[in-house]
């Protein structure tokens, strides 16, 4: 069972990340972890692909947690849940809500 935290202090955490603790330990994937960390130094957008259940989301969340723990980005590390959206025009709003820019007007 992992007790890993994704930041230093709970009050700082809420304004730095919305990542929550996972209930199970992250296993293996050392090569993939290193590769994703490396690729994120070169690109602003990285897509993980693979068959359902192969661990894409878990790997992404693990990397995100590590980046949050290391305070790698000044503005934090945020998970935007898009799976429930069925209208692509709602994506900017979902991002804005997660980043707490509710009043921001974004048009596609």
Q: Which does 54 bind (CB under 5 to 8 A by kind): ligand ADP, Mg ion, none?
A: ligand ADP
Residue 57 or 97 with smaller CB distance to Mg ion: 57
Binding track over 31-70 against ligand ADP, x by CB under 6 A: -------------------x-xxxxxxx------------
Centre a 10 Å sphere on the Cβ of residue 22 and count the other Cβ atoms it contains: 15
Q: At which residue do the structure tokens 């849940």 appear?
A: 81
Q: Does 82 bind Mg ion (CB under 5 A)?
A: no
The residue behind tokens 């994506």 is: 91
- With b for 16 or more beta-carbon neighbours within 10 A and e for fewer, the 33-56 pattern comes to eeebeeebeeeeeeeeeeeeeebe
Q: Which residues bind ligand ADP (CB under 6 A)?
A: 24, 26-29, 50, 52-58
């Amino acid at each position: 069972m992992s007790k890993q935290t994704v930041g230093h202090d709970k009050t700082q955490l809420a304004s730095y990340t919305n990542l929550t603790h996972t209930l199970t330990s992250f296993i293996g994937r050392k090569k993939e972890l290193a590769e994703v960390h490396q690729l994120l130094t070169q690109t602003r957008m990285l897509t993980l692909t693979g068959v359902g259940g192969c661990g894409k989301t878990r790997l992404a969340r693990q990397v995100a947690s590590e980046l949050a723990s290391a305070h790698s980005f000044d503005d934090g590390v945020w998970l935007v849940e898009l799976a429930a959206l069925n209208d692509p025009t709602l994506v900017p709003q979902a991002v804005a809500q997660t980043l707490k820019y509710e009043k921001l007007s974004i048009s596609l």
